Amino acid sequence: MSTVQDGEKAYLQKDFVTARQIWEPIAENGDAEAEAWLGALYANGLGVEPDSARAFALYLRSAEHGNPLAANNVGAMYAKGDGIARDPSQAAAWFLRAAEGGDALAQFNYAVALTKGIGVEIDLTQAVDWYRRAAQSGHYPSQARLGYCYAKGLGVANDPIEAFVWLSLASRHGVGLAMAELEELVRAMSAEQKSAANQRLSGWIAASAPDDRLLKAAS
């Protein structure tokens, strides 16, 4: 009997028709992962005609069965009015549900909603908390936003050292906001602050290094 993983193998080989044929009966039995994969096929027109409404329905089923990635996609489609009528409040609610499930992109999306008051009341303190959660898992745009908040004192006390750490991490991956803000921040920092900031950054990188070594050893 075929599995979701068999469908993934076909998908990676760009045999989208076979992938769909594998996933469809599995999804009919309520498998959240298969439902999400099918949603992706319909959303992107892979092996099928593009169908945003069908994609939304599949993502919604998957999300209701506990898939946080699908829940973020539901939120994104509500936010854009793609396959469903635009509804910022529903978008924010689904971003929150996915964020609580540990999806870093959803954590970022919900933080942005809180920052701008899209579908929810503006709450910069909560936004910073969600940016931090995503940033700590390595989401570069969240690292940039978190650093910016520390630099400007938005939703959190101004802290140039903490701002330096997060902006530096995001800058390493070419995030424009971080690169521009870091340059301005460094110009205003004292020698003592720069020294302390570099020490904290080195500590953060060192704490992450074991995972990097394991990945290199496995490759």
pLDDT tens digits, 44-91? 999 999 999 999 999 999 999 999 999 999 999 999 999 999 999 999
Q: DSSP states of 27-44 as a string?
A: HHTT-HHHHHHHHHHHHH
96/53 same-domain check? yes
81/160 same-domain check? no
Does residue 109 register a pLDDT over 50? yes
93/5 same-domain check? yes
16/55 same-domain check? yes
93/191 same-domain check? no
19/54 same-domain check? yes
Tokens 């500590």 map to which residue? 203
Predicted pLDDT at 209: 63
Task: Return phi, psi of residue 97, to 5°.
Answer: -60, -45
Query: Does residue 116 belong to any structural domain of this protein?
Result: no
20/100 same-domain check? yes
Query: Does residue 203 belong to any structural domain of this protein?
Result: yes
**Structural domains of the chain, count:** 2
Does residue 129 register a pLDDT over 60? yes
The model's confidence at residue 176, banded by pLDDT at 50, 70 and 90, is: confident
Query: Does residue 109 belong to any structural domain of this protein?
Result: no
Residues 218, 99, 4: CA angle, nearest 5 degrees? 55
For residues 20-29, give the mean pLDDT: 96
Measure the CA–CA gap between 18 and 184, rounded to whole angstroms: 53
186/218 same-domain check? yes
Predicted pLDDT at 218: 30
100/1 same-domain check? yes
**Enclosing domain of residue 56:** 1-104
Q: What is the pTM of this model?
A: 0.90
31/78 same-domain check? yes
What proportion of the chain, given as a percentage, has pLDDT over 70?
95
69/130 same-domain check? no
